[in-house]
């Protein structure tokens, strides 16, 4: 797991995981999270149901939402997570009149949002030094 943070932007954190990662138990995050599958596929559990998530898909999870992510093949699994501070995100969305409190999914490389998230994460990491 590699973590990227910027002291000038304390409202976000990026984590990158690869084939060394393990399956995850049910958990939640304090932050809003955007998960981007770079390689492989996973059974994503949330709210009592499963969703198959494949490469180039994005999962958005609000804070406190219990979920788990279980890759089908640990030898073919890579992902990135963008965590957004809930206070910062809520104030940003409130000014737009948006309230997001349920999981959302975008599937496939043709999905414009998936492409934008991947580009944004790459741009944010470009000038940051990771720490592990």
DSSP state of 75: G
What average pLDDT does range 8-18 have in this prediction?
Answer: 85
- Average confidence (pLDDT) over 66-85: 90
Of the two residues 128 and 29, the one the predictor is more confident about is 29
Q: What pLDDT score does 16 carry?
A: 85
Amino acid 22: pLDDT: 56
% helix, strand, coil for the chain, step of 5: 20, 40, 40
pLDDT digits (tens, 9 = 90+) for 18-60: 755 555 789 999 999 999 888 999 999 998 999 999 988 889 9
Whether 63 has a pLDDT exceeding 80, the answer reads yes
d(CA 41, CA 69): 10
Q: Is 65 exposed, middle or buried (0-12, 13-18, 19+ CB in 10 A)?
A: middle
Most confident of 9-18, 90-99, 114-123: 9-18
Segment among 49-53, 60-64, 112-116 with least mean pLDDT: 112-116
- β-strands 2-5, 67-71 pairing: unpaired
Distance from C-alpha of 89 to C-alpha of 99, rounded to nearest angstrom: 10
Read off the tokens for 105: 């999914």
The whole-number pLDDT of residue 21 equals: 53
Report the pLDDT value the prediction gives residue 52, as an integer from 0 to 100.
93
């Amino acid at each position: 797991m590699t973590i990227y943070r910027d002291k000038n932007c304390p409202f976000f954190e990026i984590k990158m995981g690869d084939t060394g990662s393990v399956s995850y138990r049910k958990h939640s995050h304090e932050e809003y999270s955007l998960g981007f599958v770079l390689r492989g596929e996973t059974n994503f559990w949330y709210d009592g149901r499963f969703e198959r998530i494949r490469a180039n898909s994005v999962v958005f999870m609000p804070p406190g939402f219990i979920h788990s992510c279980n890759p089908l093949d640990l030898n073919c699994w890579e992902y990135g997570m963008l965590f957004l501070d809930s206070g910062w995100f809520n104030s940003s969305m409130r000014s737009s009149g948006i309230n997001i409190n349920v999981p959302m999914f975008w599937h496939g490389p043709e999905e414009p949002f998936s492409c934008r998230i991947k580009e944004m994460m790459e741009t944010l990491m470009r000038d940051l030094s990771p720490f592990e």
